[in-house]
Amino acid sequence: MTPGPGKTATPTRPGTRSESLLAWFRTNRRPLPWRVRPDPYRIWVAEVLLQQTRVAQAVPYYERFVARFPDLRALAGAPRSEVLRAWQGAGYYDRARRLHEAARCVARDRGGRIPGTVEELEQLPGVGRYIARAVASLAYGVPAVALEANGLRVAARWTREEADPRTARARARLEAALARELPPSSPGPFNEAIMELGETICLPEAPRCPACPVSFGCRAYRELDDPASVPRRPAGRHRPHLRAAVVALTERGRWLVQRRPPGGLLGDLWEFPGGRIEPGEAPAHAARRELREETGGTVRRLAPAGVVRHGYSHFTVELHVFRGISGSRRPVTGRTRRWATPDELRRLPLPRATEKIVDRLNAPDRPSPGSGSRRGRTTVSRRPASRRRPGRALRRGTAPSGGRSRARR
Ligand code: ADE
């Protein structure tokens, strides 16, 4: 093997890659909240949250969630709306729904004890290959390799994997390579150390190789001019951009909100009526049309309240927000559409983009062009800081889902 320019031909550290890695982790391990007082439930919640969220962003959500649901029984016994509310802002709400469902299965079928084998864990809703291995190794010391996005990158560089590490075959190769060095007495720390290395040193674009405790055992470092060229980047993804109109309709100090259908994108979350702006259509026209089509209601006065932008994993959206006063035809209300006081709105689970709209509606001195008189405005209570997104829009048709990819931390 030929070392890259300016690199040593012999290992700079004694011992094996895993020994050096574990020694480094012992002194550099961040005191993340799921590492303090670890138990299978707390580890599981953290791993679910961390699946699509970067560590720094996940911490406040995690703390809020486990403060509200400190153990499996608390989570299993809660209504779904409460779980979604506690997850609010973290995005990818399906994760929360499935975690809740799985907690209920464990409470019902297993006396509340989270199973300790990869195979049993994989039977639970929402628990896939990575989470099963992470929980089994971190919480129960099961000798299983758990590779998430960071770990896959680290392992790809160590072994100079040529293929995209997210493909099943490359992943299998990487897992097998790491399984050969997994220390049987500390599989959890080994797995976490790899993730930690990927999050803090073996960065996607600019790896800090001189600071790496295991560069001596890294083929990308030793053999390539640019270790960051591994793993190979997938072709750039183009996220489509959508335009939508949203109506914040008021009547006697209340706002019209509706619940999205369960199961789909942002399922069960509450939002203002609205939908896509058709090509060539004026935003105000789309606002009136969507309100009528969705709710049967008409609007007496419509005033622009600005544009809110939001990015989802698969598309971006610009939301043209309008304040409206209910017209002669009133919207149809019921179980999934109702008038909410500002206080009630504050307690409903909202998508992140709706939170942004609420902020916009509350922004005191940012009248939008043509917004007219401020008299008679309804102010939406802002969520207290603790309830707001510690760190993240629409139809029925406009709504892309919240969250962001954690593939590149
Ligand atoms: N990413 C996923 N799981 C993690 C963990 N347990 N610690 C740090 N980063 C992580």
The answer to whether position 407 is within a domain reads no
Check which CATH number belongs to the domain holding 50 and give it: 1.10.340.30
CATH number of the domain that residue 269 is part of: 3.90.79.10
Confirm or reject: Cβ of 44 under 6 Å from ligand 1: no
**Pocket residue to mutate for ligand 1, from 55, 148, 197, 408, most atoms within 8 A of Cβ:** 55
Host domain of residue 305 = 241-396
Tell me if 399 CB under 6 Å of ligand 1: no
**Nearest 5°: phi and psi at 319?**
-110, 115
Shared-domain flag, residues 38 and 152 = yes
Catalytic residue annotation = 47
pLDDT in tens, 317-376: 999 999 999 999 999 999 999 999 999 998 999 999 999 999 999 876 554 433 333 334
Percent of the chain with pLDDT over 90: 75
Residues 170 and 191 both lie in one domain: yes
Give pLDDT, residue 380: 58
Q: Which atom of ligand 1 is nearest to the CA of 406?
A: 1
Give the pLDDT band of residue 112 (cuts 50, 70, 90): very high
Would you tell me the crossing angle of helices 93-109 and 40-50 to the nearest 10 degrees?
160
Domain count for the chain:
2
- pTM comes to 0.75
In this structure, the answer to whether residues 181 and 252 fall within a common structural domain is no
Measured from the CB, is residue 154 less than 6 Å from ligand 1? no
Least confident of 76-80, 148-152, 275-279, 405-409: 405-409
Both 27 and 109 in a single domain?
yes
In tens, the pLDDT along 1-19 reads 444 545 544 444 446 999 9
**Residue 152 CA to ligand 1 centre (angstroms):** 13
> Does pLDDT of 253 surpass 60?
yes
Question: pLDDT-derived band of residue 405, with 50, 70 and 90 as boundaries?
Answer: very low
191 φ, ψ (degrees, to nearest 5):
-65, -45
Tens digits of residue pLDDT in 171-180: 999 999 999 9
One domain for residues 137 and 206: yes
* Percent of the chain scoring above 70 in pLDDT: 85
Specify if 387 maps to a domain.
Answer: yes
Q: Is the pLDDT of residue 252 over 60?
A: yes
**Separation in Å, CA 37 to CA 121, 144, 209:** 21, 22, 32
pLDDT of residue 387: 46
